[in-house]
Amino acid sequence: MSIYLRTTPLTQETKSNRIELKNLLKTALDEMTAAGIDKRSILPIEADVTDLIEDDDFWVTQANSLAIFATPERILTFQLGSHVTNLVEVSDRFHLKPLLRAVTFPHTAYVLALSMGAVRLVEVTPDNAPREVTVPSLPKSMADALGRRSHQERSGDMNKAEESSENALLTRYSRVIDKALRVVLTGQHRPLIIAAAEPLASVFRHVCSYHNLAAHVIPGSADRTPDHELATAAQAVLDNVYAGDIAAFHELYAQRTQQGRATTDITQAARAATYGAVDTLIVDMDTTISGFIDDEGAVTLDDAPDAVNYGVVDEIARRTLQAGGKVIAARRDDIPGKADLAAVLRYAF
């Protein structure tokens, strides 16, 4: 059983979420009963979800949505930063499209609040308050990094004017920061967003070695900017990142359409995914089209969901991932032709 529930981070307002979860559970139980599933399989699922509904501690900390995956043996929950449409799916497999949204656009980032007088790294997540990250060897300021009080001072040992220029000092400062950040950022993939005034923002961008540096900057000195304001500004930057990714897909889709390597047809996409021909797939995360896909990729659609069928677009996404393709979970308005899915193929199929 898969349940997706839109939630609120405000603890005092979660009562309605718990009521809605109880309604979704009833829908799932009715489907299982109608399908003739053994009660010995139904009862553990009912008990686990009911315990979750009644667990006050669980509801103290929530994000924007909740995903619940339950079998007779176990229950798993995930807090999601994105807003999902409430739904329940009962089948022989979990329903993954809304969860893939969290992977596609995770809504998490690091913000580097940077100035000549101070520097700090802030972690931004959708379900918790922003927090400052401890970075070993991170300088407290430009003076701390370079051993001088300001860029206007001059050392008697310097023979070249450019060595004491503002740009040269900012570059040295930025390199010290970049080196310190590697300890924390190595192996990470979330965007790093610079919060700084010019020219320091551009100088740091020039020397930064992190692979996922966001193109957009939070402008202005961040010395006294509270972490929660940086987090709000970071979400706007992440929205721009998302918009850029969607625009890039539309451009690629248009190119591949001219080559006969793109489709919005579910039947064609299902066969292509079955034979590993889908390179990139974008799917509507909010809707479910019920049915089956056989081993050859042939699609059979049903009028309504039940405890036997499953979401065919979800299954196309699963087969795409199994073959090493990329899947983007998005809103319908972001999909070419506002279709249920759009696929870019590795070859004409």
Beta strands 131-133 and 262-263 are: unpaired
pLDDT over 90 (residue 138): yes
**SS3 category, 46:** helix
What does the mean pLDDT of the chain come to? Answer: 92
Range in 31-35, 82-86, 213-217, 272-276 with the lowest mean pLDDT:
82-86
Tell me if 78 sits within 8 A of 67, measured CB to CB: yes
% of the chain at pLDDT higher than 70: 95
- For residue 129, what pLDDT is reported? 82
Q: Which residues have a Cβ under 8 Å from the Cβ of 179 and sit 6 or more positions away?
A: 137
Average of per-residue pLDDT across 92-99: 94
Sorted by where each starts, the structural domains of the chain and their CATH numbers stand as 2-90 (no CATH), 109-240 (3.30.420), 259-345 (3.30.1330.30)
Beta strands 290-293 and 87-89 are: unpaired
C-beta atoms surrounding 65 within 10 Å: 26
H/E stretch holding 77: strand 75-80
Q: Which residues have a Cβ under 8 Å from the Cβ of 99 and sit 6 or more positions away?
A: 67, 78, 80, 329
Tell me if 137 sits within 8 A of 144, measured CB to CB: no
pTM score? 0.79
Q: Which two tokens mark 18?
A: 């718990």
Q: Which residues have a Cβ under 8 Å from the Cβ of 149 and sit 6 or more positions away?
A: 143
Tell me if 67 sits within 8 A of 3, measured CB to CB: yes
Average of per-residue pLDDT across 44-58: 97
**Cα-based distances in Å from 147 to 130, 137, 191, 200:** 31, 14, 30, 18
